[in-house]
Amino acid sequence: MQQVDYKTVTYRDIDVCYLDDLDGGGPRFGQMFVEQVIERSPRVEHLFEWCAGPGFIGFSLLACGFCERLTLADVNPDAIAAVEETLRRHDLTERVAVHLSDNLKGIPRTERWDMVVGNPPHFPEALPRHVADGFVLRSVDPGFRLHREFYREIGSFLNPGATIMLVESTVAGDHRAVFQEMLTENALELVAPIWQIDTARSYYVWSRPKR
């Protein structure tokens, strides 16, 4: 087996393994998102990172003690391999589960989470620069298919009182009304208004099942 020369970024005592092609912004605006999660939510027992890539957001939250257990999922086998290498280096297999999964399809139906976070693909259609740069898998969600499936299915994985907090991007256009429609269609409500951090050109969608 060919050895992979991973780069690493360190969050406290966890060195997260990754490759450049797996970096969708988690070490940059993703860490601004982490700050918002910590500020706006109490600690949780079991955290899930959707479209996790190498797990920049999830491992960062685990490292700072925000959660006790972490589950990560991604459709890209290279991302899963990077996560597995991080787990191997830090002996985290008892606290962290990882699934190769097309959206939520490959995740055991017995999984239950107290909070869901994620930095999913932001663009509803591919742009010429995405195709040229090979960014499609981590940046494009055609017609927001992944988002629509996610919001349709996520409720069955949530513990009572659980919340969903996702980072989106105005670089891809302002789709807040589209996300609000998805929430309404799937019996979810905003915990707080969708808000924006101008410096990151990002906004966060924080929701939970209607009570």
In tens, the pLDDT along 71-80 reads 999 999 999 9
Burial letters for 198-207: b for 16+ Cβ neighbours within 10 Å, e otherwise?
eebebbbbbb
Q: What is the pLDDT of residue 3?
A: 85
Residue 139 lies in a domain: yes
Give 154-199 pLDDT, tens digit per residue.
999 999 999 999 999 888 888 989 999 999 999 999 998 777 765 5
In a domain, 70, yes or no: yes
Considering the domain boundaries, does residue 47 fall inside one?
Answer: yes
Of 86, 77, 32, the closest CA to residue 55 belongs to 86
CATH number of the domain that residue 192 is part of: 3.40.50.150
CA distance 147 to 25: 18
Task: Provide the residue range defining the domain that includes 50.
Answer: 7-209
H-assigned helices in the chain: 29-40, 56-63, 77-90, 128-133, 136-139, 145-153, 176-185
Tokens coding 98: 């990882």
- Quote the pTM value: 0.94
Residue 1 makes CB contacts below 8 A (sequence gap 6+) with none
**Is residue 74 in some structural domain?**
yes
At residue 152, the 3 state secondary structure works out as: helix
Helix (H) or strand (E) holding 96: strand 96-100
Cα distance between residue 9 and residue 15, in whole Å = 6
Q: Is 24 helix (H, G, I), strand (E, B) or coil?
A: coil
Residue 154: the pLDDT is 98
The domain tally of the chain equals 1
Does the residue 1 lie in any domain?
no
Residue 140, domain member (yes or no):
yes
**pLDDT given at position 8:** 98
Can you give the pLDDT at residue 88? 97
**165 within some domain:** yes
Give dist(CA 203, CA 192) in Å, integer: 12
Q: Is residue 2 part of a domain?
A: no
